[in-house]
Amino acid sequence: MEKTKVTLIYWGLSLFVFLALIPWIFNLTIALYSIQALAIYGGVIVAFLGGIIWGWEEPLASSKNLWLAIGFSLLGLGVSLLTFINLSISLILLIISLRAFLHFEKRNSSYFQANIKYANARNLITNLVTICCITSLAFLYNPYT
């Protein structure tokens, strides 16, 4: 099961990388749609990660953690909706929410703590998605576009 999870994590990363590279290759219109898609996809991922908490074993699925799960899901929705209002803030909020969930998962998930390959993959993916978001922000603020 762990190998499948790690493989799927890397497949999920490939879409982030693809969407972060498109702006640097194609025209401005396609670039903006690509960055918007990246932020929306990221919001969906944050919401999905929040939902994972509901599947944790009983001691970890405390009332507090379930409320936090709803909070992360709503945060993901907020990231996705914010892309239509302010794309830059949406990307910054995506970075913050992904890093916050990683911190939360490190401290509270027994699966994360017991499976080093999964933990390493989650750390790496969060860092790489952060780089994709920063790359997209760099494109948005690039004075040459």
Taking only the tens place, the pLDDT of each residue in 29-76 is: 999 999 999 999 999 999 999 988 887 777 767 788 889 889 999 999
Which CATH architecture does the domain made up of 2-140 adopt? Up-down Bundle (1.20)
In the DSSP assignment, the letter for residue 141 is T
Taking only the tens place, the pLDDT of each residue in 81-116 is: 999 999 999 999 999 999 999 999 999 888 888 889
Residue 8: the pLDDT is 86
pLDDT class for 137, splitting at 50, 70, 90?
very high
Contact 41, 19 (CB under 8 A): yes
Residue 125: the pLDDT is 94
In the DSSP assignment, the letter for residue 86 is -
Is the pLDDT at 134 greater than 70, yes or no?
Answer: yes
Quote the crossing angle between the two packed helices 28-52 and 2-21, to the nearest 10°. 160
Is the pLDDT at 2 greater than 70, yes or no?
Answer: no
Quote the crossing angle between the two packed helices 116-140 and 28-52, to the nearest 10°. 150
Residue 123: the pLDDT is 94
Q: Which of 121, 133, 66 is nearest to 96 (CA)?
A: 133
Domain boundaries defined on the chain: 2-140
